[in-house]
Amino acid sequence: MKKGYFITFEGGEACGKSTQINMLKKMIESSPYKDKFVFVRDPGQSPLGEEIRKIILFAKDTPNPITELFLYLASRVELCEKIIKPALNEGKIVISDRFYDSTIAYQGYARNILPIKEVLHLAKMSSIGLTPDLTFYLNLSPVEAFKRKGNSVLDRMELEGETFHLKVKNGYDNIAKKNKKRIINIDASKSPENIFEIITNIIKDKTKINL
């Protein structure tokens, strides 16, 4: 039985997840509680997971959608078994940039590879029984999100069209509605400082750690 606390950040491309996680990491690294937290990203983090991440995001040959789905799932199994589960068992607070909600939104709702129930089943199977205690969903329209990207280099997922990313957002909206106790739906068009205050106040309340 896990002893720690599991927090995930979700949302579409350029929603501000990385900004918030980096701000949170910087705050925690200068606090007395820095050894209490573990930061990870999905896909990736584990040695094998990072290799899979490169294939998913930067492969020259576009994978079959089913292949893409199973690559994400395989990376998550490695992440959960080798990093997240051991950390939670040690009583750590794990903060993950994406988790299985991303699979449901991207490969389920947007790709429409399989019925949502089947994608959900596979996504949860890949998490080896781990479920986030708390999820921050940074909710931002794709149109606004890609204004933020500007002329920066895009990975394969970011290069998908507007229709695809609207489906991703609709997917996240549906997931959030069905998981109101776990998911905090945040208007990501607010300033980073405003969003960060919301996030840190909730984390302090949930974990009882005064960052």
Mean pLDDT of 38-63: 92
Query: Per residue in 128-137, pLDDT tens?
Result: 999 999 999 9
Q: Specify the pLDDT at position 196.
A: 98
Confidence of residue 150 (pLDDT cuts 50, 70, 90): low
Mean pLDDT of 123-146: 94
Contact 156, 30 (CB under 8 A): no
Q: Which of 25, 8, 17 is nearest to 79 (CA)?
A: 8
Q: Specify the pLDDT at position 147.
A: 81
Confidence of residue 58 (pLDDT cuts 50, 70, 90): confident
Confidence of residue 155 (pLDDT cuts 50, 70, 90): low
Question: Cα-Cα-Cα-Cα dihedral of 43, 188, 181, 167, to 10°?
Answer: -60
Confidence of residue 205 (pLDDT cuts 50, 70, 90): very high
Query: Per residue in 33-43, pLDDT tens?
Result: 999 999 999 99
Confidence of residue 156 (pLDDT cuts 50, 70, 90): low
Global pTM value: 0.93
Question: In the predicted model, what is the mean pLDDT of the chain?
Answer: 93
Alpha helices (H) along the chain: 17-29, 47-58, 65-79, 85-89, 100-103, 116-126, 142-149, 162-178, 192-207
Q: Specify the pLDDT at position 149.
A: 65
Q: How far apart are CA 9 and CA 97, in angstroms?
A: 5
* 158: pLDDT strictly greater than 70: no
User: Which residues, 6+ apart, have CB-to-CB distance to 195 below 8 Å?
Assistant: 16, 20, 138, 186, 188
Domains belonging to the chain, first-starting first, are: 5-207 (3.40.50.300)
